[in-house]
Amino acid sequence: MIPTGEFRIAPSLLSADFGSLAQAVGEVAAATSWLHIDVMDGHFVPNLTIGPPVVASLRRHSGAFFDCHLMMTDPGAFLEQFHTAGANLASVHVEIGGTDELIAKMRRLGLRVGLALNPDTPLEAAEPYLASIDLLLLMTVFPGFGGQSFMEEVLPKIAAARHAIDERGLPVTIEVDGGIDAETAVLTAEAGARVFVAGSAVFGDPRPWEAVERIRAAIVGAFDRREADLGR
Ligand code: DX5
Ligand code: ZN
């Protein structure tokens, strides 16, 4: 049986009330140790969200693992600021290029390294970097906004990434982001994802901590049933 600890729910603050972020962070603190922070530059995506000063403020209210998703054309110019602000991991998008330099810079700073792929970017774009990253973020919506519908056509790419990572024995975690709820979390977990970003499914719930538990329970339940079916 796969231990529960191998599945992590990363609530996305994008769907929280930006006027009460510290409260939102507190609401999920006991349910999960990860927090997904969506940084948008109004250029790579048509939306603006938060930057290093807000990450630094959140750090004063949280001991969580800050998983910063940098939807930016030029993240390299800000990596140091995000690190100083308290980011633990930063994901940069492969579509912007300069990936080798960005990975080297993140390593130099001591950031965990994530590489993000849009839904229509093939896995081949990430393959040269798989041995150099900690996390592969496979978008299951086009980035820019919360509350969009899960794109199930990404499932084969998740399965192919799982296969490539396992075949090479690489310590890379697969994260999915976009339209994740209790149902789609199970589909992506079965395809090979281990970190599940959920924005509206968590902060759209009046009891966000219960929403986190519901998503985790759905995944664990599905895996337990699968093990039982296999007669183990
Ligand atoms: C989308 C962001 C996501 C977003 C997910 O651009 O990267 O992290 O917050 O929101 P939901 O879970 O509502 O699709
Ligand atoms: Zn995100």
pLDDT at 231: 75
- Residue located nearest, by CA, to atom 1 of ligand 1: 143
pLDDT at 232: 63
- Positions of the chain with pLDDT under 70: 1-5, 232
Helix axes 21-28, 208-229, angle to 10 degrees: 30
pLDDT at 1: 42
pLDDT at 82: 98
Residue-wise pLDDT for 30-50, tens only, equals 999 999 999 999 999 999 999
Q: How many angstroms separate the CA atoms of 103 and 135, rounded?
A: 12
In DSSP notation, the chain reads ---GGG-EEEEBGGGS-GGGHHHHHHHHTTT-SEEEEEEEBSSSSS-B---HHHHHHHHTT--SEEEEEEE-S-GGGTHHHHHHHT-SEEEEEGGGS-HHHHHHHHHHHT-EEEEEE-TTS-GGGTGGGGGG-SEEEEESS-TT-SSPPP-GGGHHHHHHHHHHHHHTT---EEEEESS--HHHHHHHHHHT--EEEESHHHHTSSSHHHHHHHHHHHHHHHHHHHHHHTT-
Question: Which residues are within 5 Å of ligand 2 (an ion), measured at CB?
Answer: 38, 69, 177
Residue-wise pLDDT for 148-185, tens only, equals 999 999 999 999 999 999 999 999 999 999 999 999 99
| Residue of 71, 145, 196 with the most ligand 1 atoms within 8 Å of its CB, for mutation | 145
Span from the CA of 229 to the centroid of ligand 1 (angstroms): 33
Span from the CA of 116 to the centroid of ligand 2 (angstroms): 9
Query: Could you tell me if 130 and 94 are in contact, meaning their C-beta atoms sit under 8 angstroms apart?
Result: no
How many C-beta atoms lie closer than 10 Å to residue 217's C-beta?
A: 12
- Residue located nearest, by CA, to atom 7 of ligand 1: 143
Hey, which residues are catalytic here? Answer: 38, 177
Span from the CA of 137 to the centroid of ligand 2 (angstroms): 9
Instruction: For residue 204, give the ligand 1 atom closest to its CA.
Output: 13
Quick one: what percent of the chain has pLDDT higher than 90? 93
CA angle at 198 for the pair 129 and 19, rounded to the nearest 5° = 115
pLDDT at 184: 98
Residues flanking ligand 1, CB < 6 Å: 12, 14-15, 36, 38, 69, 141, 143-148, 177-180, 197-201
pLDDT at 78: 98
Span from the CA of 43 to the centroid of ligand 2 (angstroms): 16
Instruction: For residue 198, give the ligand 1 atom closest to its CA.
Output: 12
Instruction: For residue 202, give the ligand 1 atom closest to its CA.
Output: 12
